[in-house]
Amino acid sequence: MTSTHRLGVAAAEGIQPANWRRALLAPSRLAGKKYADLEIVRAVCALLVVVNHFYARTTGLHQFVPISMITNYATEAVIGFFVLSGVVISLQDYNNIAKYIKARAIRILPIYYIALGVTAVVTITCDGSASIRQFLLNGMFLQEFPGSGAHLLGYDQPTWSLPYEAFYYILFVAVILNGRCLFALLFASFALGMAVEVIDPAGTFKYLDTIVPFFTYWAIGVVVVRAARSGIYPSPSSGVFGFLAGLCLSRCPLSDNYYDFFRLLGFALGIGLLISSLVGRDLHVSDDGGFRYRPYEIPAAARVLVALIVVLVLWRWSPAIAPTKLVLSLLIGLGAVHPSLFVSIAAWFFARTKSVFVYIGGLSYALYLIHFPLLLLANKYLSAFEVWPRMMITGVFVFALAHLLEFVLQPRIKKLLSSPVHLRTAA
C-alpha cells in the first residue's frame, strides 16, 4: 500500500496521524488568528469570481464550454464567502460590541471606499455617467435597496454583496448579546427564503428574495463553528462528500430565479460541511495527531443513498446542460464510493501550493472588489493588444493593486485607527 493510499484510508476512517496533519496544510493556524485552510478556501472562491469575470467580460475572448462549466460557479463562490464570513466572525472572541463594530469597520470600510472611488471613476470613463446619488447610496451600502438604481458598472460589480455583509454584521450583534438569537434568526431567514420561492418565484422583491434569506447561508458558518467547538464535525472525507453533493444541488433550482434560494442553500450546506471538517480538525487535533473529539464519518451506505437521490434530482429537475450533469454525477458517484481519493488529491496539491493560495486568500477582499472596474478599463483602453496579452497585463495590475491595498495600506490604516488616542491637557 502506497503512502498516498494510506493517507486516503486514514482520512476515510477518521484517523489523522501526524504525517496526515502535515500533508493537510499543517500547521493551519497562522499569525493573527488566521487559518491556512480557510485562507485557501477563500482564495479559491475569490479566483472563481475573478476568472469568471475575466472569462465572460474580456472583449474578444471566445467561450469554451468546459471552462464555462467551472466559471459558472462564481455566484456559488460568493455564497462561499458568506459562509466563510460567518465562520471567521465566530472564531473571534467578541465579548464587547464596540470592539466588534470597530474591528469590522476597520477591516471593511477603507478598502471598500477606495474600490468605490475607483469604480466611480471607471463608471464615468467607460459609461459616461455616475451620479452623486449613486455614489452616496453605495457609500452607505444602500445600492441593493429596491428601486435605488444605484449600481455602478451594472450588477456584475462585486460591491453588490457588501450590503449583505453589513446587514449580517448588524444581525450578529443580537447573537453577541444573546446566543440563542442565532437559531431564531436562522429559522426566520430560512422560512422566508422558502416562502418567497412560492410567493415570488421571479425574484421581484430584492430584499425579500435575497438579502434577508441569504442570512441563512451566513448563519451556517456560525453554526459550523459552534458545532465544531462542541466536538461535532465531519472527517475530511465526509466533508468532501458533502461538498460534492452541494455542487450537484446548486444546479437544482425550485424556480426560474437565478438566485434561487434552494439551489444556493444546497451549495451553502455542502461547503459548510467541508469547512466544518477543516475547522474541527484545527480546533481538536493535537500535535501528536490525536483527537480531543473524533470527527464523525458518514457511513458508506448512507453516502451511496444520498448520491443516488442527488443524481436523480439532478437529472430530473436541473436545467443544466447534459455535460455538466454527467460530470457532476461522476464526481458524486466517485465521492460516495471513494471520498478519500479526493482528500488525497487535495492534500497532495495544496501541500505544494499552500503559500500561493494563502497569499491570494490574504488579498482576496481587495482582489474581489477592484478586479472588475480594472477589467472594464482594460477593455476600453488596451483594446489594441491581443486578448491574452491584455488579460495578462490587466491581471498583473489587479494583483498589484490588491497587494498594495491589503498588505501595504490596510496594515497602516489598522495600526492608525487601532492606536489609542492620547490627549494632552493643559498644565
Residue 63: DSSP 8-state: P
DSSP letters for 363-382? THHHHHHHHHHHHHHHHHHS
pLDDT at 338: 95
CA distance 351 to 226: 28
Distance CA 281, CA 231 (A): 10
- 162 versus 22: which is more confidently predicted? 162
**For residues 58 and 378, what is the distance between their CA atoms, to the nearest angstrom?**
9
- pLDDT of 166 > 50? The answer is yes
Model confidence band, residue 228 (pLDDT cutoffs 50, 70, 90):
very high
pLDDT in tens, 19-42: 333 333 333 444 445 689 999 999
Mean pLDDT check: name the lowest of 180-189, 272-281, 287-296, 404-413: 287-296
Say which residue, 32 or 5, is predicted with more confidence: 32
Give the H or E element holding residue 30: strand 29-30
State how far the Cα of 250 lies from the Cα of 73, in Å rounded to an integer: 9
Q: What is the pLDDT of residue 155?
A: 55
The pLDDT assigned to 20 comes to: 35
Confidence category of residue 63, pLDDT binned at 50, 70, 90? confident
pLDDT: which is higher, 207 or 55: 55
Q: Give the confidence band of 318 by pLDDT, cuts at 50, 70, 90.
A: very high
Residue 207 pLDDT class (50, 70, 90 cuts): low
pLDDT for the residue numbered 426: 40
pLDDT, tens digit, for every residue of 230-251? 999 999 999 999 999 999 999 9
Strand partners, 34: 30
Please give the torsion angle defined by the CA atoms of residues 373, 376, 380 and 382, in that order, rounded to the nearest 10 degrees: 90
For residue 29, list its beta bridge partners: 35
Mean pLDDT of 387-410: 94
pLDDT bracket for residue 203 (50, 70, 90): low
Find the helix or strand (DSSP H, E) in which 249 lies: helix 236-249
What pLDDT was estimated at residue 47? 96
Beta-bridge partner residues of 35: 29
